[in-house]
């Protein structure tokens, strides 16, 4: 098993979804990587969380790798109905992005990190809903914040 795979998948997923957030001019943070300063978190934003890789060697040096991706969307509710559907629009954009293949590159500055393509994450087979948008609504009575999450299950098969 390639020890850099977890880093390569995380970095590749972050780059992919940062580009998605840029298309809708939405601030983007990566959990565990970007600083969570109170001022920066008080803006409308998308926050990426990745679980995995979960690996299984199917045969000698042939691996099935599962990755779970969550993008938390945070919308500050205005005093009017102006932009009331922003979180739905953002969710639709991220949901569409989760239906595409996500390329995994050898990102980094190590000896094995040459930027070449490792393969592509595809929607995991066998799930009735490999990508979904879940709305949480207003998160508390006091805070005028609504949240939603775009959740996806992915897999890649590798000979490494």
**pLDDT tens string 98-146:** 999 999 999 998 888 999 999 999 999 887 888 999 999 888 777 788 9
What backbone phi and psi angles, to 5 degrees, belong to 151? -125, 130
Q: Residue 17 in contact with residue 46, Cβ under 8 Å?
A: yes
Query: Cβ of 139: how many Cβ atoms within 10 Å?
Result: 12
Query: Cβ of 67: how many Cβ atoms within 10 Å?
Result: 23
pLDDT digits (tens, 9 = 90+) for 24-67: 999 999 998 887 676 666 789 999 999 999 999 999 999 999 99
Question: Considering its fold, how many domains does the chain have in total?
Answer: 1
- Listed in sequence order, the DSSP H helices in 51-85 are none
- What domain range is 125 assigned to? 5-159
Structure tokens at 49: 């969380």
Closest CA to 146 of 39, 44, 27, 1: 44
The pTM of this model reads 0.92
Looking at residue 11, which CATH number applies to its domain? 3.30.2000.10
What backbone phi and psi angles, to 5 degrees, belong to 101? -70, 140
């Amino acid at each position: 098993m390639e020890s850099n795979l977890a880093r390569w998948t995380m970095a590749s997923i972050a780059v992919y979804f940062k580009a998605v957030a840029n298309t809708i001019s939405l601030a983007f943070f990566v959990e565990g990587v970007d600083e969570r300063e109170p001022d920066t978190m008080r803006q409308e934003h998308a926050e990426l969380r990745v679980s995995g890789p979960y690996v299984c060697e199917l045969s000698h040096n042939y691996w099935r790798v599962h990755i779970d991706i969550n993008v938390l969307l945070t919308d500050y509710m205005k005093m009017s109905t102006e932009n009331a559907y922003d979180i739905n629009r953002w969710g639709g954009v991220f949901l569409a992005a989760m239906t595409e293949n996500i390329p995994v590159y050898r990102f980094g500055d190590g000896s094995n990190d040459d930027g070449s393509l490792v393969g592509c994450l595809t929607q995991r087979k066998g799930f009735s809903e490999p990508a979904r948008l879940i709305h949480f609504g207003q998160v508390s009575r006091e805070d005028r914040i609504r949240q939603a999450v775009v959740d996806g299950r992915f897999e890649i098969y590798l000979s490494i």
